[in-house]
């Protein structure tokens, strides 16, 4: 372990960056005896490690952190956003092309949702981008069945409570065309993404969501990325879009 605290980083931070867990979860793993450094079981997360230290988690060597990378993925419907599904359903990570690093998702899209999903090899970045404090908006195209009341859609800007859950301001407008049809397309923009938020909010307005496509997440857009396709964000673009993250990481 590094003797000079200025030449290393806290082990919980390194574990989070590797995508294993959050910093808080890392503390629990250490307390449970799951982490070793240089052959010694850690008893406290107050441990600074350097590039020459050998970290073992659950019996596996933790490789040196790679440069932070971010990918855009066009998630198809019918895949779950998890590494392993206890119900045996196919996951996005099983569907990804070969040759990619170990990745984690920035938030989730549920089984029947599709569109833009951000993937990264940096677990700390994933959690950073999920925070509403980033100010990044998430925009969706949503097809609904039911009688669309545009006044009620506008009222969502003030937020809404559904079954005891408070949802923040939502921008929802009807897309042009389609008047008189049973299904209408809406453009919906969120500033946070609680579990099944759009489906639950629309349900509260007596609208049934039968298709949901995320088209943008912050500055990143789905554009013409084909279904199942993956595109890496150039490093210069990544640094330009989230300079605060790299500053906090000391990069």
Burial tier of 131 (Cβ tally within 10 Å: 0-12, 13-18, 19+): exposed
Per the residue annotation, which of 53, 85, 110, 171 is the catalytic one? 110
Q: How many H-runs (helices) and E-runs (strands) does the chain carry?
A: 8, 17
Which residues, 6 or more positions from 190, have their beta carbon under 8 angstroms from its beta carbon?
137, 138, 139, 140, 168, 170, 197, 198
Which residues, 6 or more positions from 231, have their beta carbon under 8 angstroms from its beta carbon?
71, 72, 225
Among 166, 187, 167, 165, smallest CA distance to 176 is for: 187
41 SS3 class: strand
Q: Is 52 a catalytic residue?
A: no
Return d(Cα 194, Cα 158) in angstroms, integer: 17
Which run of H or E residues covers position 73? strand 70-75
Number of neighbouring beta carbons within 10 Å of residue 211: 16
Among 88, 1, 15, smallest CA distance to 58 is for: 15
Q: Mind telling me the catalytic residues? A: 110
């Amino acid at each position: 372990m590094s003797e000079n605290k200025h030449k290393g980083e806290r082990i919980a931070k390194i574990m989070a960056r590797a995508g294993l867990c959050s910093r808080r979860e890392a503390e629990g793993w250490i307390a449970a005896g799951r982490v070793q450094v240089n052959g010694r079981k850690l008893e406290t997360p107050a441990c600074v490690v350097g590039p020459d230290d050998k970290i073992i988690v659950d019996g596996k060597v933790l490789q040196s952190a790679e440069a932070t990378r971010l990918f855009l993925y066009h998630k198809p419907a019918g895949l779950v956003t998890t590494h392993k599904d206890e119900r045996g359903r196919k996951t996005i990570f099983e569907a990804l092309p070969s040759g990619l690093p170990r990745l984690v998702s920035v938030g989730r899209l549920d089984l029947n949702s599709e569109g833009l999903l951000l993937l990264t090899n940096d677990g700390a970045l994933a959690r950073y981008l999920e925070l509403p404090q980033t100010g990044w908006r998430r925009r969706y195209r949503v097809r609904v069945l039911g009688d669309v009341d545009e006044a009620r859609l506008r009222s969502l800007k003030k937020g809404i409570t559904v079954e005891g859950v408070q949802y923040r301001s939502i921008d929802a407008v009807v897309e042009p065309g389609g008047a008189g049809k049973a299904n209408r397309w809406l453009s919906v923009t969120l500033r946070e993404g609680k579990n099944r938020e759009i489906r639950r909010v629309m349900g509260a307005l007596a609208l049934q969501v039968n298709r949901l496509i995320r088209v943008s997440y912050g500055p990143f857009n789905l554009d013409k990325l084909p279904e199942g396709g993956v595109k890496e964000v150039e490093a210069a673009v990544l640094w330009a879009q989230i300079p605060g993250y790299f500053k906090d990481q000391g990069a």
